[in-house]
Amino acid sequence: MAVQALDAARLPVDWAKLVQKLALATALFVVAYGVVPAYASGYLVEAILLPFLALSLAAVGLNLLTGYCGQLSLGSSAFMAVGAFGAYNFNLRVEGLPLAVTMILAGISAAGFGVVFGLPSLRLRGFYLAVSTLAAQFFVQWALTKFGWFSNDNPSGVISAPHLAVAGLSLDSATGRYLLSVTTVMVLTALVWRLVNSATGRNFIAVRDNETAARVIGVPVLRTKLLAFAISSFIIGIAGVLWAFTYLRTVEPAGFNLDRSFQILFIIIIGGLASIRGAFWVRRSSLSSRSFCPGSAHSCSAACSIRAFST
Amino acid sequence: MTFFSHLRKAAIATAFVLGATAVHAEEQYFPLQSYRVGPYAAGGTGFFGGFIDYLNLINIRDGGVNGAKLAWSEGETQYEVEKGVEVYERLKSNPGIAAWNPLSVGIAYAMIDRITDDKVPLITINHGRTDTTDGRVFPYVFPLLLNPYSETSGIVNYIASKEGGLDKLKGKNIVVLYHGSPYGKETIPIYELLSQKYGFELSQIEVPHPGNEQQAQWLTIRREHPDYVVLRGWGVMNPVALKTAQKTGFPADHIIGNVWSNSEEDVIPAGDAAKGYTAITTQASGERYPVVQEIVKTVYGDGKGNLEDKSRIGSVYHNLGIVNGILNVEAVRIAQAKFGNRTLTGDEVRWGFEHLKLDPARVEALGAKDLFHSINVSWDNHEGDGYVTFQQWDGKKWNVVSDWIAPDWKLLRPIIEKSSEAYAKEKGIKIRTAEDADAVVSN
């Protein structure tokens, strides 16, 4: 796969394909910024698009780590929680911090946290690494519950989202929150797209495909792994902010449980590891199949999409 | 051509008449975020069953509230916040919404901002966010009858009465075993405060949701040797707690259940382990109350009863659902007396809830004497000073073992106001006055 990517970079420009891609991108923009805000019902935006965007972004982030760099992680919802609670606290404790800065700071806290819990990846692989990332999952939930400071000493440990505004423009309406979400997701996805096609992205793939060979050809394996953890957690952290601020508008630590981590992992497994598009397709299909399986937990929606895909 | 234009006119006229009649039928709608599957299905089916049974009774017996028919539809939440929000978004566009009753603290928290924008009341009977009692800050949220702090105060007062007075609490050791959810954690600070005030030793132990494994917690309790254990459970956690208590040798008659650990569904699965277990309640269980009898006769007699298992009629959750129905319907009735007998807006129903005063005489007239005591809601007190009583399980049924007890509202109000004012500051909310409460949006 690494070789293919290199070849693709050297091929002469295929104009027809480029025009097709541009047309597709324009259509996407028109739908995202024109059609949806103008015509979508409140239900579609609040109950389907907002969770879809947040979880898809988390899946994009995890895909970078698991799909591209080959490091299996079960701590995704912990990183989402760090992002959500980080953003809440930055917003609460620093007066007048712009929303974009809050989100970036939250992402950076999640990234720092990701690096710490990525350290075992230097020694562990596969299932052993997955189990060690479980520690992140349980530690974060425990810490957020144990120390009331994180939820501003709210007795039930639930935070509620602050007023959202960019440059004095209120984004509290459903459409405003949707626009904030969709813009964030688009920007970050574009950056990830760029990243996986860069030298760093090829390093990720080299580490995934054969760590020893990667080391032999001069890929800095340790740095690459930690970088993958950092960037992936950054993106998942921002997905957590979107989940808390734009979708639920309230969050308790228990909302970021292991189920959610599995849900994100299943999205990328079903959508295809190392496929950015897959993150979005599966999330959509899992949402649309939700209504058919009212009987069990969230992970059921992933199971349903397995069924939908196999048929 | 002329024929077709006539036809079109006729069609339009018909549509207009039909549309007008549809609008003319006054209807008040209750969106129900119910849960009939999942770990908390016992509470969900009982409560929403009772609620729907009472709404049905009003429709069948009285033809609605002063002619306004009651309507409802359900959405399954499984007690999960995400699903609750999804159902809210799905049902909120229906016309004539009277009030929301999600029966979940997590979902209620997620809805506070949304329903405040919609100007529709949110009812969290016997639970909810405690500081929503302060109507000055939370105009649309009503933790009716009993908020978590009042419940805590009621339980501590009851333990004191068993020990022979509040001064006898000094040096006693009480363990609170709570459900690991926003609901369970809500009372942590108030137990701390009461422990300092009355000088009893306190430890609070969390049971992770859903609570079907409690060996470790009960071993800790055995080491502590407490005088009483307060069980602040929910769903499957309760029978497991009672059984594990028996296994570790803690006597059931020294376990006091809170208001969500007080049902038949909590004790029957525990079998003998539950004998002697005592729990707080705002509404007595049993079928002997006239309103329950009428539901059996009119609604179940008509084949429209909501409970599949008729032996659950008159159970704690079913009766709570009925009481919740009474409170919702009476709020609509009170609002109708002011705004007219028609479909009311959410804000008008909010006004109704803020004037929901049912004294014992009115409660008796509604056929609910001894089922619950009374309620007295005002624009700034959204709880309405509900009374509590205690019931003990004898292995077959609940027996009331105390009078109606008043929680220590005077002690609690300043704590609630402090918390709600902090919330108002954090969210930039203007504190409401009595005049604001009287300004009602009617369309």
Q: How many CB pairs lie under 8 A apart between chains A and B? A: 77
Q: Which of B78, B85, B106 sits opposite A47 (nearest CB)?
A: B85
Q: Do A158 and B182 touch (CB under 8 A)?
A: yes
* Tens digit of each residue's pLDDT (9 = 90 or more) over B267-291: 999 999 999 999 999 998 889 999 9
Query: Distance of CA A80 to CAs A5, B98, B207, B210, B299, Å?
Result: 31, 36, 24, 22, 48
Q: Do B181 and A295 touch (CB under 8 A)?
A: no
pLDDT at residue A235, rounded to an integer: 97
Bond into B210 cis (ω within 30): yes
Q: Which of A89-98, A286-295, B381-390 has the highest average model confidence (pLDDT)?
A: B381-390
Question: Region B363-376: what's the mean pLDDT?
Answer: 93
CB contact set of A24 (below 8 Å; sequence gap of 6+): none
CB contact set of A138 (below 8 Å; sequence gap of 6+): none
Task: For residue A215, tell me if it sits in a domain.
Answer: yes
Task: For residue A63, tell me if it sits in a domain.
Answer: yes
DSSP A46-93: IIIIHHHHHHHHHHHHHIIIIIIT----S-HHHHHHHHHHHHHHHHHH
Question: Region A273-278: what's the mean pLDDT?
Answer: 82
Is the pLDDT confidence value at B150 over 80?
A: yes
pLDDT at residue B342, rounded to an integer: 93
**What single DSSP character describes residue B253?**
G
ipTM exceeding cut-off 0.85 for this assembly:
no
Is A163 an 8 Å CB contact of chain B?
yes
* Tens digit of each residue's pLDDT (9 = 90 or more) over B65-78: 999 999 999 999 98
Q: Kindly indicate the confidence band of residue A272, based on its pLDDT and cuts at 50, 70 and 90.
A: confident
Q: Do B110 and A145 touch (CB under 8 A)?
A: no
> What total number of domains does chain A contain?
1
**Measured between alpha carbons, how far is B408 from B415 in angstroms, rounded to an integer?**
12
Query: In chain B, which residues touch A (CB < 8 A)?
Result: 37, 76, 78, 80-82, 85-86, 89-90, 92-93, 105-106, 109-110, 112-114, 129-130, 180-183, 185-189, 206, 209, 419, 426-428
Q: Kindly indicate the confidence band of residue A16, based on its pLDDT and cuts at 50, 70 and 90.
A: confident
* Distance from the B45 Cα atom to the nearest Cα atom in chain A, whole angstroms: 15
Q: Kindly indicate the confidence band of residue B19, based on its pLDDT and cuts at 50, 70 and 90.
A: very low
Q: Which of B37, B89, B419 sits opposite A46 (nearest CB)?
A: B89
* Distance from the B121 Cα atom to the nearest Cα atom in chain A, whole angstroms: 18
pLDDT at residue A11, rounded to an integer: 60
* Tens digit of each residue's pLDDT (9 = 90 or more) over A45-72: 888 899 999 999 999 999 999 999 999 9
Q: Do residues B360 and B374 make contact, with C-beta atoms less than 8 angstroms apart?
A: yes
**Measured between alpha carbons, how far is A207 from B310 in angstroms, rounded to an integer?**
64
Q: What is the pTM of this model?
A: 0.82
* Tens digit of each residue's pLDDT (9 = 90 or more) over A171-190: 888 899 999 999 999 999 99
**Cα atoms found within 13 Å of the Cα of residue A282, Cβ hemisphere only:** 33
Q: Kindly indicate the confidence band of residue A301, based on its pLDDT and cuts at 50, 70 and 90.
A: very low
pLDDT at residue B14, rounded to an integer: 52
Domain that holds residue A109: 41-257
Question: Region B366-384: what's the mean pLDDT?
Answer: 93
CA dihedral B242, B244, B247, B248 (to 10 degrees): -100
Task: For residue A283, tell me if it sits in a domain.
Answer: no
B chain contacts of residue A47, beta-carbon cutoff 8 Å: 85-86, 89-90
pLDDT at residue A307, rounded to an integer: 33
CB contact set of A56 (below 8 Å; sequence gap of 6+): A185, A267, A279, A280, A283
Task: For residue A18, tell me if it sits in a domain.
Answer: no
Q: Which of B82, B209, B426 sits opposite A51 (nearest CB)?
A: B82
If you count them, how many residues does chain A have?
311
A chain contacts of residue B86, beta-carbon cutoff 8 Å: 47
* Distance from the A255 Cα atom to the nearest Cα atom in chain B, whole angstroms: 8
Q: Which of B92, B180, B189 sits opposite A254 (nearest CB)?
A: B180
DSSP B58-73: HHHHHSSBTTBEEEEE
Candidates A126, A8, A76, A91; CA nearest to A237 is A76
Task: For residue A105, tell me if it sits in a domain.
Answer: yes
Q: Do residues A251 and A157 make contact, with C-beta atoms less than 8 angstroms apart?
A: no
For A110, phi then psi, to 5°, come to -65, -40
- Site from B82, B90, B427 to mutate, A interface, most A CB atoms within 10 angstroms: B82
Q: Kindly indicate the confidence band of residue A127, based on its pLDDT and cuts at 50, 70 and 90.
A: confident
Q: Do B181 and A152 touch (CB under 8 A)?
A: no
Is A248 an 8 Å CB contact of chain B?
yes
What rounded mean pLDDT belongs to chain A?
Answer: 84
Of chain B, the percentage scoring pLDDT greater than 70 comes to 94
Is the pLDDT confidence value at B13 over 70?
A: no
Question: Region A26-53: what's the mean pLDDT?
Answer: 88
Is A211 an 8 Å CB contact of chain B?
no
Q: Do B182 and A46 touch (CB under 8 A)?
A: no
Is the pLDDT confidence value at A279 over 70?
A: yes
pLDDT at residue B3, rounded to an integer: 55
A chain contacts of residue B78, beta-carbon cutoff 8 Å: 297
Looking at chain A, which residue has its C-alpha nearest residue B129? Answer: A156
What are the structural domains of chain B?
Answer: 23-147+285-387+416-438 (3.40.50.2300), 149-284+392-409 (3.40.50.2300)
Task: For residue A139, tell me if it sits in a domain.
Answer: yes
Is A295 an 8 Å CB contact of chain B?
yes
Q: Do B180 and A145 touch (CB under 8 A)?
A: yes
* Distance from the A305 Cα atom to the nearest Cα atom in chain B, whole angstroms: 18
B chain contacts of residue A51, beta-carbon cutoff 8 Å: 82
Secondary structure class of A240 (helix, strand, coil): helix
- Chain B contacts in chain A segment 75-104 (CB below 8 A): 92
Beta strands in B235-322 (DSSP E): 255-257, 278-281
Question: Region A135-152: what's the mean pLDDT?
Answer: 86
B chain contacts of residue A298, beta-carbon cutoff 8 Å: 80, 82
Q: Kindly indicate the confidence band of residue A165, based on its pLDDT and cuts at 50, 70 and 90.
A: confident
Task: For residue A293, tell me if it sits in a domain.
Answer: no
Q: Do B89 and A43 touch (CB under 8 A)?
A: yes
B chain contacts of residue A249, beta-carbon cutoff 8 Å: 110, 113-114
Q: Do B90 and A43 touch (CB under 8 A)?
A: yes
Q: Kindly indicate the confidence band of residue A292, based on its pLDDT and cuts at 50, 70 and 90.
A: very low
Q: Do B89 and A47 touch (CB under 8 A)?
A: yes
* Distance from the B297 Cα atom to the nearest Cα atom in chain A, whole angstroms: 33
What rounded mean pLDDT belongs to chain B?
Answer: 90
Task: For residue A274, tell me if it sits in a domain.
Answer: no
pLDDT at residue B441, rounded to an integer: 85
pLDDT at residue B163, rounded to an integer: 92
Q: Which of B90, B114, B182 sits opposite A252 (nearest CB)?
A: B182
**Measured between alpha carbons, how far is B121 from B101 in angstroms, rounded to an integer?**
9
Q: Do B86 and A47 touch (CB under 8 A)?
A: yes
Q: Which of A41, A155, A255 sits opposite B185 (nearest CB)?
A: A155
* Tens digit of each residue's pLDDT (9 = 90 or more) over B104-139: 988 998 999 899 999 999 999 998 888 899 999 999
Question: Region B167-178: what's the mean pLDDT?
Answer: 94
Is the pLDDT confidence value at B20 over 80?
A: no
Q: Do residues A266 and A289 make contact, with C-beta atoms less than 8 angstroms apart?
A: no
Question: Region A137-156: what's the mean pLDDT?
Answer: 83
Q: Do B106 and A158 touch (CB under 8 A)?
A: yes
Is the pLDDT confidence value at B21 over 80?
A: no
Is A47 an 8 Å CB contact of chain B?
yes
Looking at chain B, which residue has its C-alpha nearest residue A162? Answer: B427
Looking at chain A, which residue has its C-alpha nearest residue B185? Answer: A156
Beta strands in B293-415 (DSSP E): 357-358, 375-376, 389-393, 398-400
Q: Which of A43, A46, A158 sits opposite B109 (nearest CB)?
A: A158
pLDDT at residue B262, rounded to an integer: 92
Helix-, strand-, coil-residue percentages of chain A, each rounded to 5: 75, 5, 20
Q: Is A114 exposed, middle or buried (0-12, 13-18, 19+ CB in 10 A)?
A: buried
- Site from B35, B40, B87, B109 to mutate, A interface, most A CB atoms within 10 angstroms: B109
Is A215 an 8 Å CB contact of chain B?
no
Q: Which of A47, A254, A295 sits opposite B181 (nearest CB)?
A: A254
Looking at chain A, which residue has its C-alpha nearest residue B178? Answer: A156
pLDDT at residue A288, rounded to an integer: 47
